[in-house]
Amino acid sequence: MKKVYVWLIFLASIITTLYFGFQKSGFHEDEYYTYYSSNRSLGLYQPDREWQDRQTILDEFSVKKGEGFSYGLVKLVQSWDVHPPLYYWIFHTICSLTPGLFSKWSGLIANLIAFCISFWLLYLITKELEVPMLVQLLVLAFFGMNPQTISCNMLIRMYAWLTTAVFACALIHIRFIKKEAFSEGSSKDDAKDIKKLIAVWAPIVLVSYLGFLTQYFYLYFWVGIGAFTFLWLAFSRFDFKKAFIYAGANVLALGLAIITYPSCISHIFGGYRGADAAGGLLDLAGTWMRMSFFIGLLNDFVFGKCLLIIITLILMGTIYLNLRRSRDVATGKRQKYQSPRPEIIGLLVATAVYFILTAKTALLVGAASNRYEMPIYGLIIFFIIWDVYIVFYRIESFGKDNKKRSLVMVMAVFFAILIVKGLATDDNVLFLYKEDPEKIAYAADHKDQVAVVMFNPATPQNVWRLTDELLMYDRVFYMNEENLEALTEGDVVNADSITLYAADDDLQKQAFDNLLESCTKLSSMEELFTEDMWACYGLK
């Protein structure tokens, strides 16, 4: 019967994600980069005083017929940037199955596959940690339908797959530590049994190899749980041989990843993001600011601004239990409180290490910064809900005879309210870009008139932000905003009306004057839409 409830929560989570998937109406600039860097053909460029047709643009964001499954090119393009290639290979594979198609569903399907895997990995994590069934269901429901889980599924980047890698790493380490906790230590027979060696070490090597090639932030979780596991084996189990074999397995995983993708070395130690990350780690002065920023995001977007209330309740319950335990010890009564198991401590340490190091090194870009912490939000949800349950379950007066069920029902109502609040009231699902359809519709309605794009030559790649709109036109005329020579292109200077897209630039006003002076039939200019770094105008 339990599995039935898990499946119902799983299906409800997928339906909720699909509901918001249909509402996604635009793309973040990094999402455009996902399409471009996975599917590019000749390479997108912005010419000055030249036309570019729709097909030329489309070919750089979708897979051209006959150019699918080009994994070598995908890897090469990523080597020019600062990301490992695994996610882009997955995304490129999906796009290769639908050549010529530029659609949000290519990215959403890739994310949905990752979410399905992550959901069942989280289920297995809670099962391995012997979480009570009702708590297990509550964790899965709050994770599956949480606004930030859905936001992760909406963002067409690698973070949904990074979540999968983090959960897989957590699961194999939980199983490994549990097995070692009940074993007698290393033996000669184990060393001779090749099948046992492969069964124990292959998952650790494989998961971390794939995780590293998905996103470099995986290193934070890997280092956190790896350091704990090594120290636990060496100084708690006193199994130094196995500790160093474990360390060797992780070094092997890292070595294989470097051999597969040598560019990772320059990305981490020499790339602009690597330099930024190193600076963030060493910047002690900004630590509290960054920590409070990301804790604020966790509070606002995951727990509906109620995290302080939840933490306060946990602390009050814990203080009460400690006072009661002290009283019982003083009066001779015995209380049974289990010490935290090593696999739980290891998971908590890795989650904290990931959160802290990511907070120290991630970009601060408002609500969109949630994406960097999303891979561990599911684990934080698990710890918060389980802590609430453990603390209040030990307070015997709660719920009287049917204590467990009463407690979980109260918790379920509370967390259900947070879900509804986050999805409906607070509108906390990110990366939907509901404002874009109006702009796209305007472009579609005016596709027969001249479209001009004035780009800033310092940041020409920002033209990608307009892709959905520009694809509505058969062709677009590009202009370097800092080139103030008089226009001579006949179809532009003789146009009766123009839709103008202009980037922010110090010479923008002079560029506008130059355009109006060159186009003798135009006399008025009206601002239609504004967005980050761009504005759209109607010229008549």
Whether residue 249 contacts residue 207, with contact meaning beta carbons closer than 8 Å, is answered with no
244, 120: one domain: yes
User: Do both 442 and 520 map to the same domain?
Assistant: yes
Which secondary structure element, helix H or strand E, spans residue 531, and what is its range? strand 525-531
Say whether pLDDT at 401 is over 60: no
Q: Are 347 and 232 in contact (CB under 8 A)?
A: no
Let me know if 428 is exposed, middle or buried by CB neighbors in 10 A (0-12, 13-18, 19+). Answer: buried
Enter the tokens of residue 421.
Answer: 């609040």
DSSP 8-class letter at 247:
H
Name the 3-class secondary structure at 219.
Answer: helix
More confident residue, 331 or 322: 322
The verdict on 360 and 441 lying in the same domain is no
pLDDT band at 251 (very low <50, low <70, confident <90, very high): very high
Find which of 224-233, 389-398, 457-466, 520-529 is predicted with most confidence, using mean pLDDT. 224-233
Q: Find the helix or strand (DSSP H, E) in which 535 lies.
A: strand 534-539
User: What's the confidence (pLDDT) of residue 2?
Assistant: 79
Residue 75 has pLDDT above 60, yes or no: yes
Q: Express each pLDDT in 19-37 by its tens digit.
A: 999 999 999 999 999 999 9
Q: Is 130 left (phi over 0), alpha (psi -120 to 50) or beta?
A: left
What per-residue confidence (pLDDT) applies to 192? Answer: 58
pLDDT, residue 96, reads 98
Interatomic CA distance for residues 291 and 269, integer angstroms: 24
Per-residue pLDDT at 190? 58
* Residue 477 sits in the same domain as residue 417: no
Same domain, 359 and 448: no
Q: 476-525, pLDDT tens digit by residue?
A: 999 999 999 999 999 999 999 999 999 999 999 999 999 999 998 998 99
Q: Are residues 124 and 82 in the same domain?
A: yes
User: Which residue from 70, 73, 68 is spatially nearest to 101, judged by alpha carbons?
Assistant: 68
pLDDT of residue 181: 85
pLDDT the model gives residue 45: 85
What token pair was written down for 402? 């049917």
Reading the block at residue 360, the tokens are 């120290």
Cβ 475 vs Cβ 516: under 8 Å: no
If you average pLDDT over residues 352-357, what whole number do you get? 98
- Residue 329: pLDDT band with limits 50, 70, 90: low
Contact between 221 and 375 under an 8 Å Cβ cutoff? The reply is: yes
pLDDT at 325 over 90: no
Same domain, 512 and 429: no
Mean pLDDT of 525-530: 94
CA distance 73 to 118: 29
Write down the residue that tokens 């940041």 correspond to. Answer: 459
User: Which among 385, 407, 434 is the end of a domain?
Assistant: 434
Cα distances (angstroms) measured from residue 313 to each of 317, 384, 388, 396, 397: 6, 11, 8, 16, 16
Using the 3D structure, point to which of 417, 434, 451 is the last residue of a domain: 434
pLDDT band at 398 (very low <50, low <70, confident <90, very high): low
Say whether both 406 and 442 belong to one domain: no
CB 163 within 8 A of CB 375: yes
pLDDT exceeds 80 at position 100: yes
Burial grade of 116 (CB within 10 A; 0-12, 13-18, 19 or more) = middle
Q: What is the pLDDT of residue 332?
A: 60
- Torsions phi, psi for 114 (to 5 deg): -65, -40
Beta-bridge mates of residue 531: 534
Question: Do 13 and 44 have their domain in common?
Answer: yes
Dump pLDDT digits (tens) for 253-283. Answer: 999 999 999 999 999 998 777 777 777 887 8
Amino acid at residue number 337 = Y
Maximum Cα–Cα distance across the chain: 98
Look at 244 and 403; give whichever has higher pLDDT: 244
Strand, coil or helix: what is 360?
Answer: helix
pLDDT band at 44 (very low <50, low <70, confident <90, very high): confident
The structure tokens listed for 532 are 């980050």
360 and 373 Cβ atoms separated by less than 8 Å: no
Q: How many structural domains compose the chain?
A: 2
Give the burial class of 352: count Cβ atoms within 10 A of its Cβ; 0-12 exposed, 13-18 middle, 19 or more buried: middle
Q: Do residues 139 and 3 share a domain?
A: yes
- Coil, helix or strand at residue 407: helix
Q: Are residues 315 and 261 in the same domain?
A: yes
pLDDT digits (tens, 9 = 90+) for 147-183: 999 999 999 999 999 999 999 999 999 999 999 988 7
Residue 191 has pLDDT above 60, yes or no: no
Whether residue 493 contacts residue 508, with contact meaning beta carbons closer than 8 Å, is answered with no
Predicted confidence at residue 126, as pLDDT, reads: 97
Please give the share of the chain, as a percent, with pLDDT higher than 90.
81
Q: Quick one: pLDDT at residue 284?
A: 84
* d(C-alpha 417, C-alpha 365), whole Å: 28
SS3 assignment, position 428: coil
Residue with tokens 């890698």: 165
Q: How far apart are CA 347 and CA 492, in angstroms?
A: 62
**Residue 187, pLDDT above cutoff 70:** no
Of 330 and 108, the one with more pLDDT: 108
- Whether residue 330 has pLDDT greater than 70: no
Residue 200: CB atoms within 10 A of its CB come to 20
Evaluate the CA torsion angle 25, 31, 35, 36 in order and state its sign. positive
- Three-state DSSP class for 478? strand
Token output for 199: 């069964």
Among 57-71, 89-103, 194-208, 452-466, the minimum mean pLDDT is found in 194-208
Residue 372 shares a structural domain with residue 462: no
Q: Kindly state the tokens that stand for 58.
A: 């489309």
Contacts of 83 (CB under 8 A, 6+ apart): 158, 215, 216, 267
Q: Residue 341: pLDDT above 80?
A: yes
Q: Enter the tokens of residue 336.
A: 């049974």
State pLDDT tens for residues 434-466.
999 999 999 999 999 999 999 999 999 889 889
Q: Of 434, 460, 485, which residue is a domain's last?
A: 434
Q: Which amino acid makes up residue 481?
A: E
- Domain span at 458: 436-539
**Eight-state DSSP code of residue 182:** T
Q: List, in sequence order, every beta strand (DSSP E) within 34-167.
A: 50-53
Q: Is 458 helix (H, G, I), strand (E, B) or coil?
A: coil
